[in-house]
Structure 1
Amino acid sequence: MKDEDKKTSPPAGSITLPYIQGVTEGLSRKIRKAGVLVHVKPTNTIRSMLVSPKDKPKKCDRSCVVYGIKCNNCSSHYIGETERPLRKRLAEHKREPSPVGTHLKSEGHKFDESNVKILDTDSRWLQRGIKESYYIASMDPDLNQDTGRHYLPPVYKPVIKSRDSGFSRESRD
């Protein structure tokens, strides 16, 4: 095909590709050689970063979470999971039959929303339970009475202990 023919012949079609550094450039060249017009669109725009159609739910209104509770007055903490809104589960923890409630009453301590941290989220029951067991194994909370809903074999202990879980003993002091 002559240079004149390339300029005058209409494109075979057009395509819009998301911009991915190192990938889009080469792919665009190959598609253009086939006579297709290529448009590149950024994946992140200022609008997408600033405009959100929904307000994010408050921490305690979220559900399907693995969470950590730290006592306001000492280094004691608890790891749990819930499918329900976290606010409802936290209210249950303030009652005495729960390990957290027992600690609060016997020591005269308190906890508030600022000392509750969402560690992970998962709407799937099995996966959320495994994540709870992982965080219990990695963070060794003193108020938990068990290792979570799922048993993690001892072979995982060295890997779990080497990972930073984001709610470590150092951050509790």
Structure 2
Amino acid sequence: MRGSVALPYVRGLSEKIRRTLTSHKINSYFVPQNKLRSHLVHPKDKIKPEDTSGVVYGVPCMNCNLIYIGETGRKLGNRIKEHKKDVEDHMKGVMTRSSRMSQSNITHKSAITDHAIKENHTPNWEAKVLKKEGNINKRGWQEAITIRKTGNNMNRDQGGKWLPHIYDDLLEKLCRKDYDVHSTDVIIEVNCRD
């Protein structure tokens, strides 16, 4: 035998794969996907998204299909509160067309605030965790990649890291573009090779 390979067991398919591998002198064994332990033992409590730190996150607009992509090493809930306060501080009172026009000429702390004022739109403050990464350098690259891969964003820049456009073809091959940034019930993750 040349070697061995462990495969998940799928009734009907696994036997066929085993026969094919055996004909090529490769030993195979099967590992159950659902173990009793995985259903019974949950040693850690699930962390709420707003209590998660070290993340790349997305804040979609409730009025259009744009999304803001950001990153933070702090708790996501604290960062979202800062964004929300900035928007609310600048949108206090009645916004007339002329006051909105004068506010739209100002560059605010956040692109979310710029979008909310300029378009008179409301962000969905239930931010989505797009990627969890504790390392600030890697998180900066993940943010830049996510901004590049998500064409419909309201970001003013390319994120914490500058990613030359020469890498666009490589990113297209390495990353799947099949995630929905506006999904309300799915935590999104950019699927890139590490």
What TM-score do you get using the length of structure 1 for normalisation?
0.66
C-alpha change, 1:98 and 1:46, in structure 2 (3 Å) is same
| 2:77 pairs with 1:87 | yes
Partner Cα separation in structure 2 for residue 122 and residue 159 of structure 1: 21
| 2:128 pairs with 1:117 | yes
Structure 1 runs (4+) greater than 3 angstroms displaced? 19-22, 41-44
Partner Cα separation in structure 1 for residue 50 and residue 178 of structure 2: 20
Partner AA of 1:63 in structure 2 = S
| 2:115 pairs with 1:103 | yes
Q: Which has the larger radius of gyration?
A: 1
Partner Cα separation in structure 1 for residue 161 and residue 167 of structure 2: 13
How many angstroms does 1:44 deviate by? 5.6
Match of 1:36 in 2: none
Partner Cα separation in structure 2 for residue 134 and residue 153 of structure 1: 11
How many angstroms does 1:168 deviate by? 5.3
Percent identity between the two aligned chains: 35
Deviations 1:31-80 (A, max 9, x none): xxxxxxxxxx9786212233211211011111111111101121121111
| 2:164 pairs with 1:153 | yes
How many angstroms does 1:110 deviate by? 3.4
C-alpha change, 1:165 and 1:91, in structure 2 (3 Å) is farther
Partner AA of 1:100 in structure 2 = I
C-alpha change, 1:67 and 1:77, in structure 2 (3 Å) is same
How many angstroms does 1:161 deviate by? 4.2
Partner AA of 1:53 in structure 2 = P
Deviations 1:75-101 (A, max 9, x none): 121111110000011111121431112
What is the RMSD computed on CA atoms of the aligned residues?
A: 3.2
Match of 1:164 in 2: 177
Partner Cα separation in structure 2 for residue 121 and residue 145 of structure 1: 22
Match of 1:140 in 2: 151
Partner AA of 2:76 in structure 1 = L
Q: Can you give the 5+ residue segments of structure 2 that lack an aligned partner in the other structure?
A: 8-17, 19-26, 88-108, 185-194
Q: Can you give the 5+ residue segments of structure 1 that lack an aligned partner in the other structure?
A: 1-18, 29-40
Partner AA of 2:168 in structure 1 = K
